[in-house]
Structure 1
Amino acid sequence: MIVYGRSNGKALRSALDSMTEVRNGYIYAAATGERIAKTGNTIMMSLQEVLLIMGASSETRKQRRN
């Protein structure tokens, strides 16, 4: 099961990469059928955090190149 949390950036990124499907207002992992989260504010906050984490990681990559 995919766990959303601030402390685990890898889990957040893999959650975006994996296939998901929505049934009855819940988000499921398509491969296993496990319920990930109920759609609503919680998942939207998690997606915002994912974008922040991914943005921060791309910024550090740019700084390393220079």
Structure 2
Amino acid sequence: MNKTKIEWVKNPDGTQGYTWNPITGCLNGCDYCYARRLANTRLKERYLANPKVADIEGQLRDSQSPL
């Protein structure tokens, strides 16, 4: 989760709210997956794994632990 300055995300007390990106990728492991190939080559240095992600309820968890 990341802090944001988006007005409609502020907490009821007016403090800064949080957002999270629900897109984490697929787990299918398809043989012809172009996304995996891009992630391991051209885009390798562009996107870094976030060690903490939020689950659907908004609780932070380690990205390696199961839901």
TM-score (norm 2): 0.30
Greater percentage in helix = 1
Which structure has the bigger radius of gyration? 2
TM-score (norm 1): 0.30
